[in-house]
Structure 1
Amino acid sequence: MSVGIVMLVHNDLHRAEQVIRHWNDAGCPVVVHVDKKVSRAVFDKFRNALANLEDVKFSRRHKCEWGAWGIVAASQSASELMLKSFDEVSHVYLASGSCMPLRPVKELIKYLAARPRTDFIESATTADVPWTVGGLDEERFTLYFPFKWRSQRRLFDRFVSLQRRFKIKRNIPAGIVPHMGSQWWCLTRQTLSAILQDPDRERYDRYFSKVWIPDESYFQTLVRLYGQNVESRSLTLSKFDFQGKPHIFYDDHLQLLRRSDCFVARKIWPDADRLYQTFLNDPAGAMKGAEPNPSKIDRIFAKAVERRTLGRKGLFMQGRFPDEYWANGLTSSQYSIFEGFTELFEDFEPWLARATNARVHGHLYAPEGAEFDGRGDTYAGAMSKSVQMRDYNARMFLTNLIWNTRGERQCFQFGPRDSQYISWDVAKDPNARISVISGAWAVPLFQSNKNFADIRAEAAELQKIEADHLYALRSPYAKARIRIWTMAEFIEAPMEALQGIIDEHGASSPSKLTEAPKMVDLTGFGQFLQNLKNQGMHPYLMGDFPVDRAPNQDRGKRRKPYLVK
């Protein structure tokens, strides 16, 4: 009893030669199929290099293209030659030139000898296959595919759409149920010969030659007709990414491959010298004795796919930028935005820094440039306060700020005078903590010495901008944690609102606030708003301010706020 190896080769023939010699040295006959696209001169050189090995034969060559019938035809021709030339072969193992044995070949022979009637081939119905990529599962068996998916993609897609539109369908041959699975199998002599000598083979071949990617369904379907004991799994470790492309194993995957306990792995990088040295030339380095269990490393591959598709929060990579749907969040950690606080309080920024130990910036999106903490020209990661550089990609300016300072809470001011490019972005960012005192932008206008006609025009414009921003914050798409007070509501109980803000930021001291930032003098602010109304502008975002005096402020001398316990 022995195991015969059918090897499909199309490139990196020097590595294929190395693996063929390894199989042959262990007593396994090998039948090689070389893709017809390989030049005659290269093929002859490859065949001559193996001419000294009696148990290595070359089958009739076929042109192999991805998703086409040629791969199945190559497997058939090589398998027929294997069964005809080597009577002692009891199992036939299909491999590629990029496959590598991970364990001593004697262990594979012993493993299969203990299971003389078992066929190892991944074989599941289309309803049970979750790994198909490209949207064609059942349709690959019922539609026509005269065009190549890779080189004639537009024609391929249009013809599929046309068949769907006119409900064109092929008939599946009677007596078979389409199954799918990995291309790499190991079948018993009885099962494989039954498939290749089936009286209806011509009918099956004619049908599957028009199926999309038949190498994943031909043997997987027909084995169900003849296999006495089908074990629906492959003995070859072969992993695919989210786009259906095979993972390539490199030298730094050595320990990962050892953990799989699989007999064979695909696809090995041809320049992975360490892998070839370890598994082919060093018997002590090969794995021994365990049941093949590729699921042991599935979690690692799943994590790798997640990292590749989503990346890390707040980190945009060249490979997936600028596709926003391939990003794992705009920012990497929580940050806070305060709107209207610096307008209402004279020393809000230093007070907040003392109360929370956070990094407190000014208006990062101010029209004059970014107001970094300390008002420097640059900040962490060589970020510039330049308006042109910031507004060229305003959302990435925020992303970079949070990423460059991860581990330190960032806070900054925002308002209707600022650039509004990030209005919707921060509203939809779960990491954002946004506190808004609506209408507070009117305080600097109230304190200014401008002509009232100019004040009225600017107030109308600022109110429109803030109204649009508040619409974004209140939309069903908003994911940020948002608090909004009208200015009138806020100054009725400022200590309560400030205490809530400090608690949210996890202040170093758990005690209640005993100090508040100094509020600007709002005496006459109500009359100012009434004057705007008299001029035909309706300032509604501030709330209800009485005309006679500033709400919640004594007419006499202001006292420092304190807390009664």
Structure 2
Amino acid sequence: MSKTGVIMLVHTALHRAEQAIRHWVKGGCPVIVHIDKKVSAVEHAGFVQSLSDLKEVQFSRRYNCDWGGWALVKATQDAATQLLDTRPDLRHVYLASGACLPMRPVTELCAYLDARPETDFIESSTTSDVPWTVGGLHEERFTLRFPFSWRRHRRIFDFYVKAQQLAGFRRRIPDGLVPHMGSQWWCLTRRTLMAILNDPRRPIYDRYFKRVWIPDESYFQTMARRHSTKIESRSLTLSKFDYQGKPHIFYDDHKELLRRAECFVARKIWPQADALYNTFPEPARTPETLPNPSAIDRVFANAVDRRTLGRPGLYMQSRFPTIDREAVMTAEPYSVLQGFAETFEDFEAWLGQATGADVHGHLFAPDRAHFCDGSAVYMGGLSDQPVLRDYNTKMFLSNLIWNARGTHQAFQFGPDDTQSINWMIAKDTNARISVISGAWIIPLFQSRGEFSDIRGEAARLQQIEHAHLKILRSPFAKARVRVVSLAEFVRSPMDILQTIVDEMSGQPHPPLAQIPRMVDLTGLGAFLQDLRNQGMHPFLTGEFPMSLDTEQSAERPPKPYLVQ
């Protein structure tokens, strides 16, 4: 006869709970059933009648159990007391729910426990040692009071917690207790469970835990530490939780996963998972086959990643990205080039020919999106119209990279473009951003406009680019960023261009034999000095070499401009 008894907490899907109970009894385990008081009298009576043929099944006093409430602990205490009083031969007590299903023959579990007669199986860790607490309450769940239901009275719950925190309120933990947490599904020895139930200070401990948050995950876990002589801090019930702390539900298509885990019991089983209920428990295995839940850990970790991160660059209604969680926002690496088209003649055509990439113009220009082929509609139906593009610039860029997968994408950017894309590209690990700071001065230098207008426009563009560079240098930026001033770039353009070409090619590129023709910068040094004299300091351009004017003045006279 088995020396293991079962406590089962039931509140829904009574027909599946009956099926599980019959498995336990068939394996030789007496079962005490607690039926939630929220179950109607008619359903309760029918359920009791359906199990009337099983003499090993008893029913305990009913309580109205809310999620995370004390009643769950009280129901377990009463059921445990009744089971131990009526079955003095038991050595272990296994706590299960109506959604638990034995994966292997119950006799194998009983044999496993019989071989470990002094061992308590209960997940039990201090708050400082667990990473899984969700909801912002860790040690606070033991030092604040929680008289309100988190699910039924959320606003009152949050208000009361905040009020206690502001008032500096802190509960005193009873002497002799070190709070521990863990899964509520445990298997304890008779000796440990009797010691918990008969502890002379139990009224004090019970009164304390009645106002602890989610006491079913801490009461027995803490009390077992007081009385157990040998604890294995793990549950024998396979259960998985998502990133929000909610239990994964096992469906029919999880059958092979559950089989691979070799566990004795699993929860939570979907009530309509007919294939699981018809398959498990499976035939007996060899005695040395031990539970191996880690065999499926990687599958669930990948599922969490797919649920929270999805596929890089793919956005869909069922999983829109969370900004603070996303690191890769696009499908493939791409290049953002700032200041190069202003510095070189026909730069886009040259770069496209050198790398084989699609090199676009200013995709976020005020007038339109300048696609590499000059078309009004690009791959995937992306329009060049600014009103459509700027409705959601992040999705515009993400869709462009996704639709053109397999071909490296590059585009020009500058302070005159739509700036709402700045943070996205800065935080995207796929972005390769190269900036020639201050290159916006070149079109102004070539414009021959009124100097007062040029000075105002230069100040505006510099302010915008300065804000952009602050974002790129932010500790939150994850893109690959290189910034060089116009003055530095003019001194050594070949090295930087070679780096960009290598990066876009995806492999070392042969040394560049030639680079595109640089625009005529004769007179730019004097132009920048005049801006300084007029009170506008173009610090982003760097200290532009005056020697360039001397060397180039013999070949071409400086462009005229007006000074007021």
Contact 1:5 1:29 in 2 (8 A): yes
Contact 1:126 1:137 in 2 (8 A): yes
Contact 2:120 2:187 in 1 (8 A): yes
Distance 1:87 1:546 in 2: 95
What residue is the counterpart of 1:219 in the other structure?
A: 220
What residue is the counterpart of 2:36 in the other structure?
A: 35
1:99/1:515 Cα in 2 relative to 1: closer, same or farther (>3 Å)?
same
| Residue 388 (structure 1) shift | 1.2
Distance 1:177 1:541 in 2: 59
1:93/1:527 Cα in 2 relative to 1: closer, same or farther (>3 Å)?
closer
Contact 1:123 1:221 in 2 (8 A): yes
| Residue 34 (structure 1) shift | 0.8
Distance 1:138 1:475 in 2: 33
Report whether the alignment pairs 1:234 with 2:235.
Answer: yes
Task: Give CA-to-partner distance per residue, 1:468-504, whole Å, 9 cap, x none.
Answer: 4344445565544444444454344443443333233
What residue is the counterpart of 1:4 in the other structure?
A: 5
What residue is the counterpart of 1:275 in the other structure?
A: 276
Distance 2:127 2:514 in 1: 68
| Residue 184 (structure 1) shift | 1.1
Distance 2:169 2:185 in 1: 32
What residue is the counterpart of 2:141 in the other structure?
A: 140
- The residue correspondences of 1:279-428 to structure 2 (distance < 5 A) are 279-280=280-281, 283=283, 289-316=288-315, 318=317, 321=320, 323-428=322-427
1:503/1:39 Cα in 2 relative to 1: closer, same or farther (>3 Å)?
same
| Residue 324 (structure 1) shift | 1.0
Share of identical aligned residues, percent?
60
1:327/1:537 Cα in 2 relative to 1: closer, same or farther (>3 Å)?
closer
Contact 2:264 2:291 in 1 (8 A): yes
> What SS is found at the alignment partner of 2:461?
helix
Distance 1:459 1:360 in 2: 27
What residue is the counterpart of 2:504 in the other structure?
A: 505
1:53/1:370 Cα in 2 relative to 1: closer, same or farther (>3 Å)?
same
Distance 2:147 2:508 in 1: 73
Distance 1:189 1:319 in 2: 48
Distance 2:481 2:137 in 1: 44
Q: How many matched pairs?
A: 555
- The residue correspondences of 1:441-456 to structure 2 (distance < 5 A) are 441-448=440-447
Distance 1:536 1:123 in 2: 69
Task: Give CA-to-partner distance per residue, 1:324-371, whole Å, 9 cap, x none.
Answer: 112233334322122232233232111101111212111101112111
TM-score by length of 2: 0.87
Q: Please say which of residues 258-267 and 440-449 is displaced more in the overlay.
A: 440-449
Contact 1:427 1:472 in 2 (8 A): yes
Distance 1:456 1:389 in 2: 32
1:443/1:197 Cα in 2 relative to 1: closer, same or farther (>3 Å)?
closer
> What SS is found at the alignment partner of 2:364?
coil
Contact 1:492 1:551 in 2 (8 A): no
Distance 1:385 1:49 in 2: 69
| Residue 52 (structure 1) shift | 2.3
Report whether the alignment pairs 1:82 with 2:83.
Answer: yes
Distance 1:549 1:298 in 2: 64
Distance 2:287 2:191 in 1: 28
> What SS is found at the alignment partner of 1:180?
coil
- The residue correspondences of 1:93-104 to structure 2 (distance < 5 A) are 93-104=94-105
Contact 1:532 1:538 in 2 (8 A): yes
Contact 2:69 2:214 in 1 (8 A): yes
What residue is the counterpart of 1:64 in the other structure?
A: 65
| Residue 121 (structure 1) shift | 2.0
What residue is the counterpart of 2:22 in the other structure?
A: 21
| Residue 63 (structure 1) shift | 0.6
| Residue 7 (structure 1) shift | 0.8
Q: Please say which of residues 131-140 and 442-451 is displaced more in the overlay.
A: 442-451
Distance 2:396 2:333 in 1: 15
| Residue 98 (structure 1) shift | 0.4
CA RMSD of aligned residues (A): 3.3
Task: Give CA-to-partner distance per residue, 1:69-116, whole Å, 9 cap, x none.
Answer: 111121122223323444543322110000010111111122222223
What residue is the counterpart of 1:562 in the other structure?
A: none
Q: Please say which of residues 96-105 and 250-259 is displaced more in the overlay.
A: 250-259
TM-score by length of 1: 0.86
1:531/1:76 Cα in 2 relative to 1: closer, same or farther (>3 Å)?
closer
> What SS is found at the alignment partner of 2:369?
coil
Q: Please say which of residues 2-11 and 82-91 is displaced more in the overlay.
A: 82-91
Contact 1:320 1:326 in 2 (8 A): no
What residue is the counterpart of 2:93 in the other structure?
A: 92
1:4/1:354 Cα in 2 relative to 1: closer, same or farther (>3 Å)?
same
1:349/1:40 Cα in 2 relative to 1: closer, same or farther (>3 Å)?
same
Distance 1:495 1:139 in 2: 60
| Residue 31 (structure 1) shift | 1.9
Q: Please say which of residues 254-263 and 90-99 is displaced more in the overlay.
A: 254-263
- The residue correspondences of 1:119-198 to structure 2 (distance < 5 A) are 119-198=120-199
> What SS is found at the alignment partner of 2:8?
strand
1:512/1:176 Cα in 2 relative to 1: closer, same or farther (>3 Å)?
closer
| Residue 312 (structure 1) shift | 4.2
Contact 2:51 2:57 in 1 (8 A): yes
1:369/1:60 Cα in 2 relative to 1: closer, same or farther (>3 Å)?
same
Distance 1:190 1:150 in 2: 36
Task: Give CA-to-partner distance per residue, 1:35-65, whole Å, 9 cap, x none.
Answer: 0011111111222222222222222211111
Task: Give CA-to-partner distance per residue, 1:247-266, whole Å, 9 cap, x none.
Answer: 22222222222222221011
Report whether the alignment pairs 1:52 with 2:61.
Answer: no
Contact 1:492 1:552 in 2 (8 A): no
What residue is the counterpart of 2:464 in the other structure?
A: 465
Q: Please say which of residues 474-483 and 62-71 is displaced more in the overlay.
A: 474-483
Q: Please say which of residues 6-15 and 547-556 is displaced more in the overlay.
A: 547-556
Letter in 2 for 1:76: Q
What residue is the counterpart of 2:560 in the other structure?
A: none
1:511/1:162 Cα in 2 relative to 1: closer, same or farther (>3 Å)?
closer
Distance 1:494 1:294 in 2: 57
Distance 1:307 1:331 in 2: 15
Q: Please say which of residues 135-144 and 56-65 is displaced more in the overlay.
A: 135-144
> What SS is found at the alignment partner of 1:159?
helix
| Residue 275 (structure 1) shift | 1.4
Distance 1:167 1:438 in 2: 51
1:454/1:176 Cα in 2 relative to 1: closer, same or farther (>3 Å)?
closer
Letter in 2 for 1:283: P
